[in-house]
A and B are shown apart, each in its own frame.
Chain A
Amino acid sequence: MTTAALVHVVVSGLATGSIYALMALSLVIVYNATRTLNFAQGEMLMVSTFAGWTVYAHVKLPLVVVMLIAVAAAALLGWLIERVIIRHAIAATHFDLLIITLGLSLVLRAAAGLAWTHDEFPFPSFFGTRPIALGPVRLAPVSLGIVGASLTLMLGLWALFTRTRLGRAMRAVAQNQRAARLVGISVERVYAASWVLASVVGAIAGVLIAPVIFLSSQMGFVTINGFIAAVLGGFGSMPGAVVGGMLLGVIENLAPLYLPSSIKHSVPFLMLIAILLIRPAGVLGRVTRPKV
């Protein structure tokens, strides 16, 4: 294995990894606000991407507009779900919320199948197909594009969470809901904002990944790796989500080179089990002890 080929594998691993990171981020955003794992995240991503694609199939708008439409659809979907379903279960336990989002994922996937069939559709890509040569290393433009776009988005999120009032409110709610309410933060608005934001981040990830894995009602399953990435980094930590995503993407791409191909599909799950056994708090997570 030459160094050039190795670099190629690592870069495409980083590309998959940034998608995982975006999905992990959207899961963590919802988790920090409502303390639930959103099982429907992948299906929300899929429905928003389909919404963008439907417009593209009818009117050939530029891709940027398609992405904006997907983002708008995602924002609407996230707001609707939070407002119509999650808000009513505000007193429910995490267990109950988990079940609700599980039901939601089944409903959304079935509804998408009815609306758009369960076939796979090619999705237009922002990026060309001609490899870019950097010395001896040849890189796929789509890998570089995905990494670049994701990093830009992460930078935007970082700015949102550290520089704006809303972002600070969201972090406050994540830390301590009661205290946040006491200092005058509307926790309900943070809930809504979190669901909308997570849905939007998911939609962008969806538009970026759809050209690679095809658009289909089943594409939401890619979020399972987002879960694993979030756990790897430490669930609840946003830098952790990014690190975990990248780590998972690179290891998943490298593993087939060194391991028998038969266990290739199990690599993310084996990593999950390993991290849960060795360090359940994740790479960047803090070990917390429950208080009585």
Chain B
Amino acid sequence: MRSLTLAMGAAGLLLWPWAAPRYFVFLASLIVVNAIVAIGLNLLSGYTNQLSFGHAGFLAVGAYTAAIVATRAPGAPVVVALLAAALVTALVGLLLGVPCLRLEGLYLAMATLAFGFVVVEAILNLDGLTRGNDGLRVPAARLGPWALATDGARYYLVLVVGAAMVWAALNLVRTRTGRALLAIRESEVAAQASGIHVARYKTLAFVISALYTGVAGGLFAFVVGFLSPDAFDVFLSVDFIAMIILGGLGSVPGSMAGAAVLTVLNDSLAGFQNYRPLVFGAILIASMLFMPGGIASAARRFRAPLAGHPRVAPGSRPGPE
């Protein structure tokens, strides 16, 4: 049953560019990109309880790195550009994560918020590299002799990378590292007492989260084809937070569901810009008040009685996947 659903889902994703109009292929690529960011953010916020308001900054670092590599080295394969984006962003994540070890809760939120602003200012000031306010045109991604110049080709690129990232995340959360991150979320003191090196794992969470977001940024650059600093403002960071809150903190499938719902919603509200924050804000409040644990735990509660498992006790905080 489960493998059948998975196989049908995979087939649907693979056939999508043939079935859907061009714009919806683009939208699907955007959903995958956002899902990668949401997973990355969730590994940091949902798993280790470190809320970040600066992920738009990481996305910008990744996007600009990939775009600059692709511009300066025209023949380089897309893998190189994405690897560069991943490495540079992970390094930035390390540089931000180490001083942030001293901070928690709202201090961390403020520091990451400030990081997001500083990244945008840096892009504006480094206009030799980034072309500042004029924006940066991104050349088509190259894979050996081919240029991925159509929406369909870009979709497959994003899909393959996205699938790898999801697979890696699903495995990561079941390893020693994933368990350590969860232990830190539940109680730092208890985690430390059980021999978990809290500082090391918290930094690691920052680095992995930045790496995910950097890869997503690189993909974003190729999908969108044009970068400008105002696309990476704090509201984008808030959108990412909304995705993991709606999807479910501490859940990889939840992150994907939240990213899909909010990306589609964002797109359908494009003609009603004034209502967009109203809807997103209401979703944030409603998820917190009525659906803590997000889509992931709602789905779990819905599925549990069917499979003969006991219902989750009402009001209990849902556990992670």
Contact = CB atoms under 8 A, between A and B. Distances in A.
Contacts of A111: 278
A85 B282 contact: no
Given A96-B288, A110-B276, A228-B110, A266 B117 contact: yes
Given A113-B274, A231-B110, A269-B117, A263 B125 contact: yes
A99 B245 contact: yes
Nearest to A37: B106
A105 B51 CA distance: 17
Contacts of A227: 110
Interface string B101-119: 0110111011101110110
Nearest to A231: B110
A99 B277 contact: no
Contacts of B111: 272-273, 276
Contacts of B109: 37, 98
A262 interface: yes
A92 interface: yes
A57 interface: no
A228 B277 CA distance: 24
Given A262-B125, A263-B125, A270-B118, A103 B283 contact: yes
Contacts of B51: 95, 98
A20 interface: no
Contacts of B281: 102-108, 110
A269 B276 contact: no
Contacts of A96: 288, 292
A17 to B, nearest CB: 19
Contacts of B245: 99
A38 B282 CA distance: 16
A280 interface: yes
B121 interface: yes
B196 interface: no
Q: Is the interface of B mostly helix, strand, loop or mixed?
A: helix
A276 to B, nearest CB: 5
Interface residues of A, number: 43
A103 B284 contact: yes
A94 B106 CA distance: 9
B278 A276 contact: no
A224 B117 CA distance: 11
Interface residues of B, number: 36
Contacts of B160: none
Contacts, number: 106
B108 to A, nearest CB: 9
A158 to B, nearest CB: 25
A113 B272 CA distance: 12
A224 B111 CA distance: 12
Nearest to A117: B274
Given A94-B105, A262-B125, A266-B117, A100 B284 contact: yes
Interface string A95-133: 110111011111111110110001000000000000000
A198 B83 CA distance: 48
Nearest to B105: A94
A265 interface: yes
A59 interface: no
Interface in A256-284: 262-263, 265-266, 269-270, 272-273, 276-277, 280
B121 A263 contact: yes
A243 B117 CA distance: 24
Interface in B234-292: 238, 241, 245, 274-278, 280-285, 288-289, 292
B114 A272 contact: yes
B49 interface: yes
A88 B277 contact: no
A155 B47 CA distance: 44
Nearest to A40: B281
A105 B280 CA distance: 11
B288 A103 contact: yes
Given A94-B106, A292-B189, A102 B238 contact: yes
A167 B57 CA distance: 41
Contacts of B49: 95
B121 A85 contact: no
B266 to A, nearest CB: 13
Contacts of B238: 102, 106
Nearest to A36: B106
A68 B261 CA distance: 43
A231 B107 contact: yes
Shortest 5 CB-CB contacts between residues of A and residues of B: A103-B284, A106-B281, A107-B281, A110-B278, A269-B114
Given A85-B289, A276-B111, A280-B107, 15 more contacts: A92-B292, A100-B285, A102-B241, A103-B282, A103-B285, A103-B288, A106-B281, A107-B282, A110-B274, A114-B274, A224-B113, A266-B117, A269-B117, A276-B110, A280-B102
Interface of B: 49, 51, 99, 102-103, 105-107, 109-111, 113-115, 117-118, 121, 125, 189, 238, 241, 245, 274-278, 280-285, 288-289, 292
27 contacts: A92-B288, A95-B51, A95-B105, A99-B241, A99-B245, A102-B281, A103-B282, A104-B285, A105-B281, A106-B280, A106-B284, A107-B277, A111-B278, A114-B278, A224-B113, A227-B110, A228-B110, A231-B107, A235-B107, A263-B121, A266-B118, A266-B121, A270-B118, A273-B99, A273-B118, A276-B111, A280-B102
